Amino acid sequence: MAKKVTMQQIAEQAGVSKYAVSKALSGQAGVSEETRERIVKIATQLGYFLQDNRGNVRKSGTAKEKGKANTIVVLLPNVRMQNRASSFWGRIVDGISTAVTERGYGTILVTEHSPENFLQVLNPSGVLGVIGVGLVATSLLLEIRNMGLPFVLIDHEDESVPSDTVFVNNFDISRQLTHFLLGQGHRHLQFVGDPCFAQSFRHRWLGFRTALEERDIPLRQSNELVGTLGVTRDEHIAGLTRIVSQLMRGGDMPTAFVCANDSLAISVVTMLREMDIDVPVDVSVTGFDDIDDASEIRPALTTVYVDKKQMGARAVDLLMRRIDHPDAPREKLHICGEIVLRDSTAAPVRRLEQADCEA
């Protein structure tokens, strides 16, 4: 039987006190964010989170046994444009609220992203469980775990705090979308979006690359387009204009941009229009998520439809299962996306000078 990983072992490797380790792993204040991240990383590598460290935390029990607990916390930290007004995140929250109401429970939306503030607004005795939507800090997840609250994550997972999760089938549908463009005749494609920004972005990037590999198409990727492009649309457009101008000067302009989400795709379309580049005659553009703006921009955006309300509803299903069966194996549920063909994609048109050279 393997020896249990202790806080003292973690402290020794991290070069801090056992007291600091305790604070970091419980989400308490008193350690810097840099130290907390280092401690959590070492704890993960040692396998600390894979063992039972719950001690005397409250057992979940079944929903019926919870008695007065009748509320599900929807945790939507107000970071990286995650908010209730978003046509992506907001629809997920709608799906959660509807599914919870149908079960006779209530919801409370919490936008705090620090453990200290989270504890101030939460009464654990009245909470059935927590559904995290989007990016949730490890320190906050650790606090939820230490409170013994069952939780499910949507579009996010954390290896330090394992949980049930709900995602879109990002890899598969991104691969299919890329194959569609290849079938149209595109051979020089660029992915737009930082794979490190979110796991969903990374899996869409991997699906894109896999489709190219399966068709023996060389990857001619600009490293800058898969780097940090900013947060706001203005920042996206400024960065994209500089990068695409460089590609054009180098004679390396792609015939299609495959974007990690619709927001980036809309920025690409806007940037190309400002540069007098026609979409889709000169360049095709695809997005992902099918937010409201995707059908309103001109040309309307070819994208991937994501049933956002269904993601929320299925997360409620997983949470109720976790409440009733606290020791059941964890599950990762994938909701299938669907390609929506609109006006931003077309077969590539060869330039006359290229045709003359080949004649």
Count each helix (H run) and each strand (E run) in the chain, helices first: 13, 11
Q: Where are the alpha helices (DSSP H) in the chain?
A: 7-14, 18-25, 33-46, 89-102, 115-121, 138-146, 170-184, 199-214, 233-249, 262-274, 292-296, 308-324, 352-358
The pLDDT, as a whole number, for residue 51 is 66
330/308 Cα distance (integer angstroms): 22
How far does the chain reach from its first CA to its final CA, in angstroms? 73
Q: What is the pLDDT of residues 267-318, one digit of tens each?
A: 999 999 999 999 999 999 999 999 999 999 999 999 999 999 999 999 999 9
Question: pTM for the full model?
Answer: 0.82
Do 283 and 277 form a contact (C-beta atoms < 8 A)?
yes
Closest C-alpha among 181, 184, 84, 169 to residue 134: 84
In the sheet where 284-286 sits, what is the strand order? 189-192, 256-259, 284-286
- Only one residue has tokens 């419980």, namely 26
Contact assessment for residue 294 and residue 301, using Cβ atoms and an 8 Å cutoff: yes
- Dihedral, CA atoms, 58, 61, 63, 67, nearest 10 degrees? -60
Instruction: Phi first, then psi: give them for residue 167, nearest 5 degrees.
Output: -135, 165
Q: Which residues of the chain have pLDDT under 70?
A: 1-2, 26-29, 49-68, 113-121, 350-359
Phi, psi of 27 (to 5 degrees): 75, 15
Compute how many other C-beta atoms are within 10 angstroms of the C-beta atom of residue 264: 25
**What's the pLDDT score for residue 355?**
35
Are 116 and 29 spatial neighbours (Cβ–Cβ below 8 Å)?
yes
Query: 326 preceded by cis ω (within 30°)?
Result: no
Q: Specify the residue for token string 């980036």.
A: 264
Tokens of 243: 């990068």
The candidate with the shortest Cα–Cα distance to 292, out of 301, 281, 280, 282, is 301
Asked whether 268 and 285 are in contact (CB, 8 A), the reply is: yes
Q: What are phi and psi of 284, to 5 degrees?
A: -90, 150
Residue range 316-332, pLDDT digits in tens? 999 999 999 999 999 99
Query: Measuring CA to CA, which residue among 158, 231, 156, 153 is closest to residue 193?
Result: 231
- What is the pLDDT at residue 331? 96
